[in-house]
Chain A
Amino acid sequence: MIAPGLIVDYASVFALLALGLAFLLTVYRAVVGPTLPDRIIALDMLVGIVIGFIAVIALRSGYTLYIDIAISLGLVGFLATVAFARFILARGAVGEGEAHDFRGIRAEPVTQPGLENPPRAIKASKPAKPRASRRKEAK
């Protein structure tokens, strides 16, 4: 029969493999994620997976001091997520097509007319006349 230490050893190797796969999947979401909150959620998830990694390494190596490191890493991850949430709140809306907002300002006029046309058409019917008169006065 297998020694009891070996069972835990095999399980921890399996856990390392599964956590590595999970880590890669989460990194993919953080890179691809269409909007900023998606990336922040992926970052939060990355901290969780790294805590799992640290726990497995602590179990394999026997240094249980790693648990304290995991707790402090969780504290840092929590604070980072809270700060990012405040940042989203302070930054305000950037636009629906955030996938290409880092390429320049040109993304804004392309995405906005499709979204805001119906409300603008109702509101713009009344102030359209004064604008025309202003133009005539200017001419």
Chain B
Amino acid sequence: MIDYLAAILIAAIIIVGALFSLVAAIGLNRLPDLYTRMHAASKAGTVGSGLLLLAVGLHSGEFAIFIRALAGFVFFILTAPVSAHLLARAAHKVGYKLSPVSLQDDMNKK
């Protein structure tokens, strides 16, 4: 019984992670703007790959491998916002415009 529960939990984590990655890719194509695409790529994409890593750690059943997978997940969660913020800041500083749909740009006051 425990076997089935663990398998169903791992399968659910795998499916949710893959769907998060798919949603991130769809958002990357559907959103109008660099600054909004960054949300899809850095949030949903990170959670997708992180959940898949977590599923591997759970499936292996060994503590050392689970800790390693968890360390990878934490590493991605730490680095994704940093890189996305750096890229958005550079793009805004250089002068890439927001899409006309967006209402206000708080960084534009000089």
A interface, CB within 8 angstroms of B: 1, 4-5, 7-8, 10-12, 14-16, 18-19, 21-23, 25-26, 28-29, 35, 37-38, 40-42, 44-45, 48-49, 51-52, 55-56, 58-59, 64, 66-68, 70-71, 74-75, 78, 81-82, 84-86, 88-89, 91-93, 96
Contacts and interface: CB of A to CB of B under 8 A. Distances in A.
Q: From DSSP, what is the main secondary structure of chain A's interface residues?
A: helix
Bin the interface of chain B by size: 35 or more
B41 A44 contact: yes
Contacts of A70: 49, 53, 72
A74 to B, nearest CB: 5
Given A45-B41, A64-B60, A8 B15 contact: no
Given A4-B4, A18-B19, A85-B86, A71 B41 contact: no
Given A10-B11, A71-B75, A74-B72, A37 B91 contact: yes
Q: From DSSP, what is the main secondary structure of chain B's interface residues?
A: helix
7 contacts: A4-B4, A45-B24, A48-B48, A49-B45, A59-B14, A75-B79, A85-B90
Given A52-B49, A55-B56, A88 B91 contact: yes
Contacts of A15: 14-15, 17-18, 52
Query: What are the 10 A-B residue pairs with the smallest beta carbon separation, nearest first?
Result: A4-B7, A11-B11, A22-B25, A15-B18, A55-B52, A18-B18, A25-B25, A81-B83, A48-B45, A78-B79
Contact of A4 (B3, B75, B82): B3
A83 to B, nearest CB: 10
A95 to B, nearest CB: 9
A28 B4 CA distance: 39
Interface of B: 3-4, 6-8, 10-12, 14-15, 17-19, 21-22, 24-26, 28-29, 34, 37-38, 41-42, 45-46, 48-49, 52-53, 55-57, 59-60, 62, 65, 68-69, 71-72, 75-76, 79-80, 82-84, 86-91, 93-97
